Amino acid sequence: MNDKPNSIEARDIAYHLHPYTNAKKHLEAGPLVIDRGEGIYVFDNNGKRYIEAMAGLWSVGVGFNEERLVNAATEQMKRLPYYHTFTHKSHGPVIELAEKLVGMAPVPMSKAFFTNSGSEAIDTALKLIWYRANALGQPERKKIIVRNRAYHGVTIAAACLTSLPANHRSFDLIVPDVLRMTCPHHWREALPGESEEDFATRLAKELEDTILAEGPETIAAFFGEPVQGAGGVVVPPATYWQKVQAVLRKYDILLVADEVICGFGRTGTMFGSTTYGIEPDIMVMSKQLSSSYLPASALMMNDRVFGPIMEESDRIGTLGHGYTASGHPVAAAVALENLKIIEERDLVGNAAAMGRRLRDGLDALTDHPLVGEVRGVGLIAAVELVTDREARTALETPGALGALVNAHLQEAGLISRAMTDAIAFCPPLIITEGEIDELLSLFRIGLDKTLAALPKGSVRA
């Protein structure tokens, strides 16, 4: 770290509280300061180049220097830099974006509502689901079903739906009656000899048993990511979504597809719901909606959801929810241009093709002593790290092996993310074959450096 008193690193330490960071450790370690971006690469303030193998935070689909998005923002700034969407007000970009999203939806949708982050969109979905239940004269229908290792955001309500310990410890949770199902990770959660289909059947039975025990009339919705992202890139087992949806339909429970990571090409189709045959009542999206060039998020709802909300807002006189920047014109203009780029350049097709190359390369590393499992779909993948492959365990402290590998990867010029002891890969959708191969080469270097640094006898191949 540059410890000059006026260095940018020292100023960061002095004034900046970072999210998802050990605040005390940061006083000594300091930041990696990223200065500029180019395609799939970012450069720190010392000029070192890194492959951004996480597309920022699962989000920069079109790369880090797309001039068309810069120009879209600039032109909209000149025309109308801000306006709101409260009290019957609107503007061109938000109308076009709402129309575009409803037209793109994999199942019939009625309306789009705009927010600024995935967490806000999840909060909004939760509020509207409760609002709808009251509108239908079902005030007892408020319970929410999620899965263990789910990630649905960090605002007060969204954090309650997230099922990761660090998001709960020392924070008070306010949403009552959140029901948590088994994470659909076959490698970790299946019984010995249990097939993917049998595992899916067992999880569907767990879901139905829980619904019956709680009372179907008390359960409002099931929230699920098509692929669980921050929980470890958990790819659902075969037949899982078909069986889960059958249970939800049986008991008239709404399905919310959290497409914040999966949406707009990440799973090799436009939406994760398309990849897995999911037919949601509500879809939540952000991240690749604008490639994170500006904060933007949205949720779409079908008529089954919208109808009662419309009637209740008429009874009350207004829908008492919204944000200052809901449907911000500059963010909407950037999102529209971003979606045009994804479609014109067939980045969804590129994600599918490059994802196959990425997984093939990762599969070739399964003989490495530190690799326990490779999983993924489309252009999102993870490698589960182990020190004992047979026992499926890592170092004594959970996350220690992941952190060590991640540090060696960054040193080698590859920015990834350790999720406990899994390393995630989610590069920009524009990545090429040569860049995939470079990513794989750097990952192998990081694994080898970690293996060499571990005490002798601590790894059982």
Same domain as 191, residue 309:
yes
Asked whether residue 24 is assigned to any structural domain, the reply reads no
Residue 1 has pLDDT above 60, yes or no: no
Residue 2 has pLDDT above 70, yes or no: no
pLDDT band at 115 (very low <50, low <70, confident <90, very high): very high
pLDDT band at 6 (very low <50, low <70, confident <90, very high): confident
Domain of residue 105: give its range. Answer: 68-344
Specify the pLDDT at position 175: 81
Residue 58 has pLDDT above 70, yes or no: yes
Specify the pLDDT at position 457: 84
Specify the pLDDT at position 408: 98
Dist CA 441 CA 447 (whole Å): 10
Residue 221 has pLDDT above 80, yes or no: yes
Dist CA 37 CA 427 (whole Å): 13
**Rounded to 5 degrees, what angle do the CA atoms 54, 55, 61 make?**
140
CA nearest to 151, candidates 122, 174, 124: 122
Q: By the 8 A CB rule, do 121 and 284 touch? A: yes
Same domain as 444, residue 300:
no
Which position has the token pair 């529209």? 336
Structure tokens at 106: 């994999």
Dist CA 230 CA 20 (whole Å): 12
Beta strands 380-385 and 371-377 are antiparallel
Same domain as 430, residue 379:
yes
Specify the pLDDT at position 174: 82
Average pLDDT over residues 252-276: 98
Asked whether residue 9 is assigned to any structural domain, the reply reads no
pLDDT band at 4 (very low <50, low <70, confident <90, very high): low
Query: What is 363-403 written as a DSSP string?
Result: HTTTTSTTEEEEEEETTEEEEEE-SBTTTTB--SSTTHHHH
Same domain as 257, residue 119:
yes
Dist CA 60 CA 38 (whole Å): 12
CATH of the domain at 340: 3.40.640.10
Same domain as 234, residue 116:
yes
Asked whether residue 10 is assigned to any structural domain, the reply reads no
Single out the residue in 328, 344, 360 at which a domain terminates: 344
Find the distance separating the first CA and the last CA of the chain, reported in whole Å: 36
pLDDT tens digit sequence for 353-388? 999 999 999 999 999 999 999 999 999 999 999 999
Look at the chain and report how many structural domains it folds into: 2
Same domain as 41, residue 124:
no
Specify the pLDDT at position 294: 98
Single out the residue in 323, 344, 365 at which a domain terminates: 344
Average pLDDT, rounded, for the chain: 97
Asked whether residue 240 is assigned to any structural domain, the reply reads yes
Structure tokens at 435: 């860049």
- CB-based burial label for 240 (10 Å; 0-12, 13-18, 19+): buried
Q: Taking the C-alpha atoms of 389, 393, 397 and 398 in order, what is their torsion angle to the nearest 10 degrees?
A: 110
H/E element, 113: strand 111-115
Specify the pLDDT at position 386: 97
Single out the residue in 344, 361, 384 at which a domain terminates: 344
pLDDT band at 176 (very low <50, low <70, confident <90, very high): confident
Same domain as 299, residue 223:
yes
Same domain as 124, residue 75:
yes
Dist CA 93 CA 109 (whole Å): 19
CATH of the domain at 37: 3.90.1150.10
Dist CA 152 CA 163 (whole Å): 8
Q: By the 8 A CB rule, do 275 and 259 touch? A: no
Q: By the 8 A CB rule, do 366 and 374 touch? A: yes
Residues constituting the chain: 461
Average pLDDT over residues 163-170: 93
The CB density around residue 135, as the number of other CB atoms within 10 Å, is: 19
Dist CA 404 CA 418 (whole Å): 9
Residue 3 has pLDDT above 60, yes or no: no
Model pTM score = 0.96
Same domain as 176, residue 216:
yes
Same domain as 131, residue 236:
yes
Same domain as 423, residue 313:
no
Average pLDDT over residues 34-39: 98
Average pLDDT over residues 148-164: 96
Same domain as 384, residue 365:
yes
Specify the pLDDT at position 60: 98
Specify the pLDDT at position 461: 72
Asked whether residue 42 is assigned to any structural domain, the reply reads yes
Asked whether residue 329 is assigned to any structural domain, the reply reads yes
DSSP assignment letter at 261: T
Asked whether residue 422 is assigned to any structural domain, the reply reads yes
Residue 98 to residues 90, 91, 269, 440, Cα–Cα distance (Å): 11, 11, 20, 39
319: left (phi over 0), alpha (psi -120 to 50) or beta: beta
H/E element, 419: strand 417-419
Query: What is 27-88 written as a DSSP string?
Result: HHH----EEEEETTEEEETT--EEEETTHHHHT-TT-TT-HHHHHHHHHHHHH-S-----TT
Dist CA 283 CA 76 (whole Å): 27
Q: Where are the beta strands (DSSP E) in 134-271?
A: 143-147, 178-181, 219-224, 254-258
pLDDT band at 70 (very low <50, low <70, confident <90, very high): very high
Asked whether residue 191 is assigned to any structural domain, the reply reads yes
Distance of CA 421 to the CA centre of its chain: 18
